[in-house]
Amino acid sequence: MRAQFVFHEVWIGLRRNLTMTVALIVVVAISLSLLGTGLLFVKQVDNTRSWWQSRVQLSVYLCTSSALGGTCAKNGAVTPAERTAIKNELLQTHDILSIQYVSQSQAVAQFRQEFADNQTLVKYLVKYSASQIPSSFEIRLKNTEADAAAVTSVMNGAPGVADVVDDTTLLDQLYKLLDGARNAVVVIAIFLLVAAILLVANTIRLSAFNRRRETSIMRLVGASNFYVQLPFLAEGMIAGLIGWLVATGLLIGAKALLLSSLQSIFPLGVQLSTADLVEVIIVAMITGLLICGSTSFLTLRRYLRV
């Protein structure tokens, strides 16, 4: 009885305010889906970062006879003595997780494997410049972010070292791009959420004005505040819920189309799971209900006093 009455009132309210309701739903839907996209981005970037964290390495390339970098041009190809010196030097740096020597022939083999689908290139290289592929030390650090720069500066210029390549500097650019995209999405979402809040307030105000006769009579015959306010509150919440449902659809679509195609660029280990998506959708729902509910409530306190 009570529930049926309240729902009837809500339905009347939503229908009378159709344009405002639709505007509200659209804005809530878009802001929630942008917020959700932002959150998915955050997850993607975090996942990618931690995946790489355990894999990034420093490559210390050693001199070949024809290399020009570092001390190579002066001293020529690395000597076994220099190699041992470099290795000892690296091992003294206490926070090294692993160190691996990749000889020239191993490097060539790796090259063959990585470019297996480009046989022309492989053939050309092996034939003419196999001797130019440098041997190297592949180093993993315990704490890459903190120590990579230090190791790099020590190694650069050491005798027999041609070049030091720090993977993180490559990744940093990728991160910057992703972080920028994420921030842009989140900022837009916040602006839209503010718009949604104002729209909710306005919709409730209009609705309260439209139904001032009903509410004045309700107060007169002694309806409790809860009863007077519930239809309005429910109106805001239902609009929010519908907006959230639309946003859920958009988010699933966004994950399928946008993020999945982005993921083809990323390594396989960091795909976003369905659980991630569900989590984001739940966060969006809570945000939507909270925004619509609390705004309705606060607006009502101003316009429906006893």
Partner 1 sequence: MIHFDNVTKTYANQGRPALESVSLDVEKGEFVFLVGPSGSGKSTFLRLVLKEERPTSGRIHVAGKDLARLTNWKVPHLRRRIGCVFQDFRLLPNKNVYQNIAFALEVIGKPRRFIRKVVPEVIDLVGLEGKRDRMPDELSGGEQQRVAMARAFVNRPMILLADEPTGNIDPATSIGIMKVLDRINRTGTTVVMATHDAAIVDSMRKRVIELEYGKVVRDQSRGVYGQAY
Cα–Cα distance, 130 to 122 (Å, whole number): 10
Compute the least distance from the CB of residue 302 to partner 1, in Å: 15
Helix axes 225-254, 2-16, angle to 10 degrees: 60
Nearest-angstrom CA–CA distance, 81 and 218: 95
Give 112 or 219: the residue with its C-beta nearer to partner 1. Answer: 219
Closest approach of partner 1 to the CB of residue 228, in Å? 8
Q: In the complex with partner 1, which residue's Cβ is closer, 129 or 216?
A: 216
Residues whose CB is less than 8 angstroms from the CB of residue 129 and which lie 6 or more positions away in sequence, other chains included = none
To partner 1, the closest distance from the beta carbon of 19 in angstroms equals 20
CB of 290 to partner 1, least distance (A): 24
Write down the least CB distance from residue 14 to partner 1, Å: 16
> Of 6, 21, 3, 17, which is closest to residue 196 (Cα–Cα)?
21
CB nearer to partner 1: pick between 231 and 236: 231
Nearer to partner 1, 196 or 228 (CB): 228
Residue 5 beta carbon to partner 1: minimum distance, rounded to whole angstroms: 5
In whole angstroms, the minimum distance from the beta carbon of 277 to partner 1 comes to 41
223 or 270, CB closer to partner 1? 223
Q: How far is the CB of 303 from partner 1 (least distance, A)?
A: 16
Q: How many Cα atoms are found within 13 Å in the side-chain-facing hemisphere of 143?
A: 6
Q: Toward partner 1, which CB reaches closer, 268 or 306? A: 306
Q: Which is nearer to partner 1, 215 or 295 (CB)?
A: 215
User: Of the two residues 8 and 123, which places its CB atom closer to partner 1 in the complex?
Assistant: 8
Residues of the shown chain interacting with partner 1 in the complex, contacts defined by CB under 8 A: 1-2, 5, 213-214, 216-225, 227-228, 306
